[in-house]
Structure formats: structure tokens, C-alpha cells
Amino acid sequence: MAAVAVLRAFGARGPMCLRRGPWAQHPARFCSRDPAGAGRRESEPRPTSARQLDGIRNIVLSNPKKRNALSLAMLKSLQSDILHDADSNDLKVIIISAEGPVFSSGHDLKELTEEQGRDYHAEVFQTCSKVMMLIRNHPVPVIAMVNGLATAAGCQLVASCDIAVASDKSSFATPGVNIGLFCSTPGVALARAVPRKVALEMLFTGEPISAQQALLHGLLSKVVPEAELQEETMRIARKIASLSRPVVSLGKATFYKQLPQDLGTAYYLTSQAMVDNLALRDGQEGITAFLQKRKPIWSHEPV
């Protein structure tokens, strides 16, 4: 698929450690190789963990002691988890969540000091941008499950996901201006999720907004009590996982493709997509099943 080709352009796929997440129901697989961990000491834990069950991949930011800062190691680990088997029919949806009271505090400021140098700084921001674009271009929906504070690049990560569900105790901010580093890259995702004036107030003041405000302005899809967060997120994920992967994948790609277009071009592109959808095996299966008053049996075949 075209979306997978785009993903491959951002980084080579390789083995991924699937580690136990906080909601694992069965033993998870482990592996010894970690292509994203080049340069990291063997004694250091992997900054993300990933587990896949019934078509749902749970990726967890797993460095709560450092407020799940998006260090270069964290970004590369997240990138690896997102890319792993992206074209597999066994993968239907991805959930990104975090351990601890902070979803993510954004970039690791220790990596942004003068001592690290301009080239290193460029690698950090380029890698972060690639991760955000991977989410947008991924063939399956990506859901952010937020239970706490998401700031700067952490807020950017939430804004980049296709769906975002948060607890009512969560909050969001782009506070870089307060320390002399304007949140320019987070502003890219933020400006595409909320109205311009809301984004600019967040960027110019650095002040946080509540989960309810984030919902009102479009940064979030849904806000629920903390006790219901996992259940509601999994409900959405299970619903997506029960549907035809190629149909959902085509729909996601088409939705983003038509967004920046003028009205006529948007309708032209989506009309072609509807025709392509009808040519899919699952497109015809769904219509046939509806007419026969039975449940569809999805093949998940891309043709």
C-alpha cells in the first residue's frame, strides 16, 4: 500500500521488543534486539514498551521518572514500535499511552543544551517530526490515551494522533516560551487540531488548558473520568479492530489527503476513493452482507 511505502521512507523496519504493558492479559513476547536503542547501555531499560493483542497494539511511554520526556532514545523507540509490521493485516489500531502522572513533558531539555551542539539538536527535532508524520501516514488509526499532563512535544504527540481520549484530570500546554524556546514544532500539530487563536494563545502564553477546554477546542475526541479511561479507549479500539483494515486504511488516507484541498478537488479525490473502495473485496462483502441481512466476513485483503 502507498501508506506503507511512505512509512518505509521514514525508517527501516526491524525486530521490535514486545514487552508487557500495564494492561497485559497474557504473557507478552520479548526479544533481545532493539534497533532503536543504538548507543544505549544494555542496563538501561527500553523507554517504550509495546504489546499487541487481537489487532490492537498498545505502545506505552515507560520512563515516568523523567516524566516520559521525548528524548532521542524515546523518540527512536517510539518510531520503531510504530513502524513494526505496519503492513501486517494482524494490526488494526494503535494506542499510545504512558506510565505515571505525566503523559509526556516534551523534549528532554538536557539534550538541548549548547554542549550537545547544533547537529544533535537537528537530529532531535527531525526525528520528532518523523514520528509525528509516521502517525499521520500510518495505515491504521492511532489513538492517544492521556491520563495526566501533556506539554510541548507531548502535547504535539496528542495532537498528531487520529483520536485522543483523556481523563478529566488531564491538561495540555505548550510552555516553551516561558523558558525561551518557542514551541514551533508542537505548533504544527496544534494548529491543525484547534482553532488558530486558541493555538496562538497557548503558544504565546504557555498557559495550560484543561481536558474539558481541550475537548471544546478539538484537541481531544472524548473526556472521561479517570476510572473509565482504559475501558472507553479500548472500546473504541475494539470497534475499529472489528472492521475491515483496508477499508479503514483507505478511509484514513483519503481523509487526510482531501483536507487541504479546495472543495472541488476534495470531492474529486473522495469520489475516486469511493470507487476504489467499491473495488475492494471487503467493500463488496460489506454491501452484500447488508443486502443479505447478515454480518460481513472481512477478508482484510488489500485488493
Choose one of 205, 226, 241: the last residue of a domain.
Answer: 241
Could you report the per-residue pLDDT of 232-271, keeping only the tens digit for each?
Answer: 999 999 999 999 999 999 999 999 999 999 999 999 999 9
- Same domain for 113 and 219? yes
pLDDT tier at 1 (50, 70, 90 boundaries)? very low
Task: Clarify whether residues 216 and 252 are in a common domain.
Answer: no
Does residue 269 share a domain with residue 157?
A: no
- % of the chain with per-residue pLDDT over 90: 84
Read off the pLDDT of residues 131-175 as tens digits, 9 standing for 90 and up: 999 999 999 999 999 999 999 999 999 999 999 999 999 999 999
SS3 of 26, please?
coil
* CA atoms of 282 and 295, how far apart (whole Å): 12
Answer yes or no: is 190 within a domain: yes
Mean pLDDT calculated for residue range 26-43: 43
Do 249 and 166 fall into the same domain?
Answer: no
Query: Domain of 185: which CATH number?
Result: 3.90.226.10
In a 13 Å sphere around the CA of 57, the CA atoms on its Cβ side amount to: 27
Domain finish residue from 198, 218, 241: 241
So what's the pLDDT on residue 303?
A: 77
Cα separation, 148 vs 300, whole angstroms: 36
**How much is the pLDDT for 42?**
56
Mean pLDDT value of segment 34-47: 60
Give which of 139, 113, 144 is closest to 220, Cα–Cα: 144
Torsions phi, psi for 185 (to 5 deg): -70, -40
Q: Can you give the pTM of this predicted structure?
A: 0.87
In-domain check, residue 211: yes
Q: Based on the structure, what is the number of domains in the chain? A: 2
Same domain for 253 and 228: no
pLDDT at 3: 47
Phi, psi of 14 (to 5 degrees): -155, -170
pLDDT score of 15 more than 90: no
pLDDT at residue 285 is higher than 80: yes
Among candidate residues 214, 241, 268, the one where a domain is terminated: 241
- Cell reading at 208: 495550560
Domain match, 146 and 255 both: no
Say whether both 216 and 263 belong to one domain: no
Q: 220 lies in a domain?
A: yes
Average pLDDT of every residue of the chain: 89
106, 218: one domain: yes
Q: Which domain holds residue 146?
A: 48-241
For the chain, give the longest Cα–Cα distance: 68
**How remote is the C-alpha of 224 from its chain's centroid?**
19
In angstroms, the CA 14 to CA 33 distance is 9
Share of the chain above pLDDT 70, in %: 86
CATH number at residue 261: 1.10.12
68 inside domain: yes
Give yes or no: residues 116 and 216 share one domain.
yes
- Mean pLDDT of all residues in 275-294: 97
Q: How confident is the model at residue 201 (pLDDT cuts 50, 70, 90)?
A: very high
- Do 198 and 283 share a domain, yes or no? no
- Shared domain check, 139 and 234: yes
Q: Say yes or no: 79 and 170 in one domain.
A: yes
58 bridge partner residues: 51, 95
pLDDT confidence of residue 6: 45
Q: Is residue 12 one of the residues assigned to a domain?
A: no
* Residues 56-98: tens digit of each pLDDT: 999 999 999 999 999 999 999 999 999 999 999 999 999 999 9
